[in-house]
Amino acid sequence: MRRSLQRRLSLTLAFAIVLTGLIAAVTSFGLGYFEAQELQDDSLRQIAALVARRAADAGFKGAPSPDGASGDNESRVVVMRLPGDARPAWLPENILPGFHTLDDGPERMRVLVRRLPQNARIVVAQPTDLRNEIALNSALRTLVPLILLLPLLAWLTARIVATELAPVRRMAHRLDGQAPDRPAALSETDVPDEIVSFVHAINRLLERVSQLMNEQRRFIADAAHELRSPLTALSIQAQNLENAESREASKDRLTALRAGIDRAQRLADQLLSLAKTQTGTTEQAMIDVSAIVRELIAEYLPVAEARGIDLGMEEVAKPSLSGSPDALRLILGNALDNALRYIPSGGEVTVRLTAEGDDAVIEVADTGPGIPASERTRVFDPFYRLEGSSGNGSGLGLAIARDAASRLGGSVILQDRPEGTGLVFRYRQRRADAN
């Protein structure tokens, strides 16, 4: 089940608001209730003070009827003067001045006793049930605004959260509406600060996707261009074979046709290898570098012998690497293939295994014509070939080696051969034991 940030945020804030409102309501109710009780006590004090003043000014001899009830049915305040008035049974004879709560009568009473000169006393009493009812009604009135505002606050919270998250939804709609083949960066206007870093990450990802798609389009265009020439040559050679006038001419033209087919097949294999290195993942395993080099030398030895090239191996160190054995085989295989393809007959190709610090170094050195220093960066581009170069290569070998090396975490460079003319293909990667 998916989690909705907006729903969770709205519910959490609404719950916090309702809980806070309820706490505030309970607190307000309690304070209002006790405040109403205090106000009623103040009313009893005022009544007692008024009765005492009237008694002092006019010789007040007692007021209410003998049962002590006043004529106010709503407040039901009882006023007595002792001695003088009949003392009810619930009122103790020697009650002290001040406030008292009496439970001995038919009703629970709140009583205020005030002392007058000549040992006279004023008694003002009120039933507690009536006082509680008045205090309760007064306290309940303080709850009405809070009870009415809580649903409104919860609704406002949900609306505010939805409004604040609206830019995120609009950004998602814009992203979803983009053309799949040409992704564009998201606008950072009207974006909350909390998700700016997230938008930056998306834009960087879109930029990388756009670069990959541009490389893919360029690769497809270059591949189509490179395949057009050998396929056209094959078509012409097939027509020539069909129009051959003699058996000997057919054999010669068949040889040329087979060479064209081999070249087209090699180009297709290299295109597949390049696509695999650009889209594949690198498996992690311990690589026996020495064993892979020996296998490659045994594989290319017939080619070297056919061209009169001395192919050998120099093992200064036995480094161990971690990564994909197939990727390393692809790197060194393309380096060997280029070396054997472009050096003249009678040359030398040496694969050297060394170690420098924490890095393993594998070199493929040849005695060929080499590559000018100004061109050593461009030759790693797919389908790029030096002007006037011999051989029938497609310009993909070094591009494949560079991509495979990048996925292994290594690097490739081209250097001049220190012993004389020629080129050194140098692959460097951190040793497994150094990790």
- At 170-200, the pLDDT tens digits run 878 888 877 777 777 877 776 777 777 888 8
Reply yes or no on whether the pLDDT at 424 is more than 80.
yes
Neighbours of 335 (CB within 10 A): 27
With a pLDDT cut of 90, the percent of the chain lying above it is 5
pLDDT tens-place string over residues 188-235: 776 777 777 888 888 888 888 887 777 777 767 666 655 665 677 677
Question: For residues 243 and 249, what is the distance between their CA atoms, to the nearest angstrom?
Answer: 9
pLDDT at residue number 25: 76
Question: For residues 12 and 6, what is the distance between their CA atoms, to the nearest angstrom?
Answer: 10
pLDDT at residue number 350: 92
Secondary structure, 3-state, the chain: CCCCHHHHHHHHHHHHHHHHHHHHHHHHHHHHHHHHHHHHHHHHHHHHHHHHHHHHHHCCCCCCCCCCCCCCCCCCCEEEEECCCCCCCCCCCCCCCEEEEECCCCCCEEEEEEECHHHCEEEEEEEHHHHHHHHHHHHHHHHHHHHHHHHHHHHHHHHHHHHHCHHHHHHHHHHHCCCCCCCCCCCCCCCCHHHHHHHHHHHHHHHHHHHHHHHHHHHHHHHHHHHHHHHHHHHHHHHHHHCCCCHHHHHHHHHHHHHHHHHHHHHHHHHHHHHHHHHCCCCCEEEEHHHHHHHHHHHHHHHHHHHCCEEEEEECCCCEEEECHHHHHHHHHHHHHHHHHHCCCCCEEEEEEEEECCEEEEEEEECCCCCCHHHCCHHHCCCCCCCCCCCCCCCCHHHHHHHHHHHHCCEEEEEECCCCCCEEEEEEEECCCCC
pLDDT at residue number 12: 79
Among 342, 397, 331, smallest CA distance to 371 is for 342
Average pLDDT on 354-361 reads 89
Locate CATH 1.10.287 in the chain: 181-279
pLDDT band, very low/low/confident/very high, at 18 (cuts 50, 70, 90): confident
CATH of domain 282-430: 3.30.565.10
pLDDT tens-place string over residues 104-145: 767 777 777 887 777 777 788 877 777 777 777 777 777 777
pLDDT at residue number 270: 63
Q: Higher model confidence: residue 263 or residue 204?
A: 204
pLDDT at residue number 65: 38
C-alpha to C-alpha distances, 48 to 55, 88, 112, nearest whole angstrom: 10, 18, 8
pLDDT at residue number 1: 46
Locate CATH 3.30.565.10 in the chain: 282-430
pLDDT at residue number 283: 61
Reply yes or no on whether the pLDDT at 6 is more than 70.
no
pLDDT at residue number 50: 78
Q: Higher model confidence: residue 413 or residue 180?
A: 413
pLDDT at residue number 63: 42
pLDDT band, very low/low/confident/very high, at 377 (cuts 50, 70, 90): confident
Reply yes or no on whether the pLDDT at 66 is more than 50.
no
pLDDT band, very low/low/confident/very high, at 277 (cuts 50, 70, 90): low
Place of tokens 């053309």: 179
Backbone angles phi, psi at 322, to 5 degrees: -120, 130
pLDDT band, very low/low/confident/very high, at 352 (cuts 50, 70, 90): very high
CATH of domain 181-279: 1.10.287
Average pLDDT on 163-175 reads 79
CB 51 within 8 A of CB 124: yes
Reply yes or no on whether the pLDDT at 323 is more than 50.
yes
